[in-house]
Every structure is written in C-alpha cells, then in structure tokens.
Amino acid sequence: MSAGLVLVLVVAGAWLAAHVAFDWLARRFLIVSGAEYLLLGILVGPYVSNLVSPSVVSGFAPFMVLTLGWTGAVIGTQFHLPTLLRVRAHYYRTAFLEALLTLVVVGAVMTAAFIVQFDLAPAVAMVPGVTLGAIGASSSLWGIALITRRLTHRAAIVRQLEVAAAVDAFVGITAFGLLLCLVHEAPPRAARPPTATEWVAIALGIGAVGGALFHLFLRGERKPDRLYIALIGALTLASGAAAQLRLSPLLPTMLIGAILVNTSRNPETIRRALGNVQRPLYFVLLVFAGAAWRPSREAWVLPVLLFLSIRTAAKMGGADLAARLGGMWHTLGPDWGRALLGQGRLAIAIALDYLIMGEPLPNVVFTATVASVLLTDLASARLVASVVHQYRERRAARPIAHEMPQGAPVVEPGH
C-alpha cells in the first residue's frame, strides 16, 4: 500500500474514532481526547497489524519533525512576558521547584536503574535517564483546560496549575534540548567538531536568530492567511535546520514562538495562526508516534514500571515540597501535584524526538512514555477535578489569602 494512502487511511480512522466516539466520551465523562490516537497508531503500526510499515513511518520523518517544531512554537507562545508579569512570583517559584525536583529525581533514578539493569556506563545511561526525567517533568494542560472551562471563578489552584504546566513544558524542553547538545556526535563533514557549549550556542542561536529574523520577516503582516503561510515557512525552516544538525527542534522553535509572541504588535494573531492547526497536527503526531512504537528488545517491563511509579512519586512529592518551600502549601494543599500527573502532547513529542535521534535505549524510553500517556491522559481531567474539588472544600472551611483576582490572564493549553 502506498505511503500516502496509508497516511490518509490512518488519519481518517483516527479522525472518526476521535470524533464519533471519544469526543462524546470527553464531554460526557471528562476523558481527555488524545490517547485513542496513540492507541490507533499502535494498532495499525508494524508490530500489531502492519498496516503501516516501518518504511512508511520513516518516510514521514520530516513531517514528524515539522510537527515537533510546531509543538515547540505553540508552547513558546505561552511565554508572553506582559501576561507572565501579571502573575505573582511565588507561583513561578513553586512551579519551577516542582518541575526541577521531578526532573532531577526521575532522571537520577532512571539513570541509576539503567546502569544496574543494562550494565551501561554512567555517561551512556544518563542520556535515556535524563530524557525520561524531562518527559516526566512535562504535564498535560488539556485536563486543566477542560476543568477551567467549567469553572465560573478562577481560583488560585487553577492559576498555579496553569503556571506549573507551562513551566513543566519549559523545563522539559530545555533539559532535553541541552542534553542532546551535550551528547552530540561529531558531524561527519566538519573540519573541527563543535564542543558541547558550541552546540548549545547553535541550538539557542537557531531559536534566537531565527526568532529575530522571522519577527522582522513577519513584522508588517496583518492578513491571517499570509501570516499563516509565512509561519509555516519559518517553522519548517527552523525545524529542518535543527533536525539537520541532529538537535531537538523543540528548543529552537519554542524560542521562536516566544520571540514572535513578545515582539509582535498583535500576539493574539500569531497565537491563533499557530493554534488553528495545532489540533490536527497533534492527532497526526500521536498516530505516527503510536505507529513508531516498537516493543523493546531489552527487558522493558521493569524500567517502564519504575518510570511510572517514580514519576508519580516525584510529581506528588515534588509538588508538595515545592508548595512548602514556595510558601503556597496552605493554598494548594498536600497533593495538588496529582493534577499534574496527566501527560500528553509534549511527552510524546520529546519521546518521538528521542526515537528519531536513535540515542541509547530508544524503545525503552518510548514505551515508558507511551504507557504513561495511555494511563494518565484518560484520567487527567478527573485528577484535576478532584484537586480543584479538594481546594474548594478547604476554601469553604478556611478562606485563603492568595486568591487570584477575577479576570486574571488565561494561559491557553499548549501541551
């Protein structure tokens, strides 16, 4: 079967599955749509039905890279400085502490586990370990968005969850992007291979220089259709450049998204232009991520179970500790981290990027991520709802000082 037809059939199937069945389920039972696409991808992939062969999956690698770049840019548009400045500092402090604690704990434990189980050198084991740390730090905003839409009052917990999810994304993308720079192989045609620091500079340079140039390029553009065409060009170019250098497209395009949204006179137009195609691209990304999944030849059960449990523990414990250190414990309560357990687009994007790069233990990392997304995505909205419910009960019992004013800025779900 031809690659094009396979793509069409796969996405068409995913489409109907999502819109006929899961959309209704999402509304009725608070199930976040997403995992079903992943599952569909696995079912049609080479290791279940073989409807999509490995060559077809690798043939669409450029498209997957573009989807990763688009995801990075959409996440970057959340970092609109004037909006961010309206949120109090202790929200960020708590969010950064929670994200970094999760990253460090998951990264360290998984690295140690890989050293022990696969007899890898620490420098090698660190790569999949820290990648899982970055994936573990990320959390899904869809559940939060679904619950927020039902609320008439914007509570402090909702604000904290939105900030935490955005910071989780930032930490996850940055950690993974920098990791790939640190372990970068020497390019075959280079007279002198760049050092790790130089790779970091190149990755950030693609984002910063690209962002500045694309800002100038798009500056005078008012028409949505033209802006959209130019954005496609800009993000394709940046993603292609990063992929050609074996760097993660997520980091440079996140920078580009942030620069564009902060330098544009009309950030909402940029956000809308990127957001319009965000959903369809996400579906395709999930389907191909599912199709790209391969059962690992390594003993994967233990690392996957370890990742799931250590991530849950790190998120819950990290959030609790961060709230205490950030002076938000009385507001957020002991287990607000439960609302951040849901994983979705960004986790899949990082895992897929890792898989494309072919770094050590790609299938273990990917399987762990797929398992985490499948398990948590369906429940993420319910987890958020339970945390918000507990917050309300506490608030009813005792009024809380850190309440957000009505009409506080809303961060759109980006991952």
Partner 1 sequence: MGRVLILVLLLGAMRLIAPLASVGEGSETLLAFGFLILAAYTVGELAAGLRVPKIVGYLAAGVLFGPSALGAVSHESVVALGAIGQLAIALIAFLAGAELRWHEVRERGVTLLKLTTVELGLTFAVLTGLVYALHPYIPGLGSGPPAEALAFALLFGSIAVVHSPSVTMGMLSETGASGPVARTTLGVVLVADVVVVLLFSAAAAVARTLVPLEAAGGGASVAGLVWEILGALLVGAALGGGVSLYLRFVGRELFLFALLAAFLGAEIARLAHVETLLTLLTAGFVTENLTRHPARDALRHAMERSAAPVFVVFFALSGAKIDLAAVAGVILLVLPLVLVRAGSINAGMRLGARWAGVTGAEARLSWMGLVSQAGVAIGLASIVADSFPHLGPPLRTLMLGLVAVNETVGPLLFRRALAAGGELQAGEATGEWESAGERRGAAAH
Cα 61 to Cα 66, 217, 383, 411, distances in angstroms: 9, 27, 34, 31
Among residues 51 and 115, whose Cβ is nearest to partner 1? 51
Rounded to whole angstroms, the Cα distance separating 415 from 412 reads 9
Nearer to partner 1, 24 or 85 (CB): 24
Shortest CB 65 distance to partner 1, Å: 6
Of 224 and 327, nearer to partner 1 (C-beta) is 224
Give the C-alpha separation, 315 to 300, whole Å: 22
C-alpha count within 13 angstroms, C-beta hemisphere, residue 211: 25
Nearer to partner 1, 170 or 199 (CB): 199
Q: What is the rounded distance in angstroms from the CA atom of residue 212 to the CA atom of residue 225?
A: 21
Amino acid code (one letter) for 1: M
Distance CA 158, CA 177 (A): 29
Q: 6-9 contacts: CB < 8 A, separation 24 or more? A: 6/51, 6/52, 6/53, 6/56, 7/56, 7/60, 9/51
Cβ-contact 340, 98 below 8 angstroms:
yes
Shortest spacing between CB 69 and partner 1, in angstroms: 9
* Residue of 58, 55, 57, 43 lying closest to 13 (CA atoms): 43
Shortest Cβ distance from residue 347 to partner 1 (Å)? 22
Counted residue by residue, the chain has a size of 415
Q: Which residue lies nearer to partner 1 by CB, 272 or 392?
A: 272
> Shortest gap between Cβ of 229 and partner 1 (angstroms)?
5
Q: Which residue has the tokens 């069409």?
A: 8
Token pair 């948590």: residue: 376
- State the nearest-atom distance from the C-beta of 351 to partner 1, in Å: 17
CB of 329 to partner 1, least distance (A): 42
Nearer to partner 1, 191 or 397 (CB): 191
Minimal distance in Å, beta carbon 132 to partner 1?
24
- Considering the complex, what minimum distance in angstroms separates the CB of residue 38 from partner 1? 17
Dihedral in degrees, nearest 10, Cα atoms 352, 298, 378, 152: -60
Shorter beta-carbon distance to partner 1: residue 7 or 260: 7
Supply the minimum distance, in Å, between the C-beta of residue 291 and partner 1: 15
Element containing residue 61 per DSSP (H, E)? helix 61-76
Binding residues for partner 1 (CB under 8 A):
2, 4-5, 7-9, 11-12, 15-16, 19-20, 58-59, 61-62, 65-66, 185, 187-191, 194, 202, 209, 213, 216-217, 219, 223-226, 228-230, 232-241, 243-246, 276-277, 279-280, 283-284, 356
Contacts of 352 (CB under 8 A, 6+ apart): 64, 68, 285, 288, 289, 292, 366
For partner 1, give the closer residue by CB, 19 or 389: 19
Number of Cβ within a 10 Å radius of residue 85: 10
95 or 127: CB nearest partner 1: 127
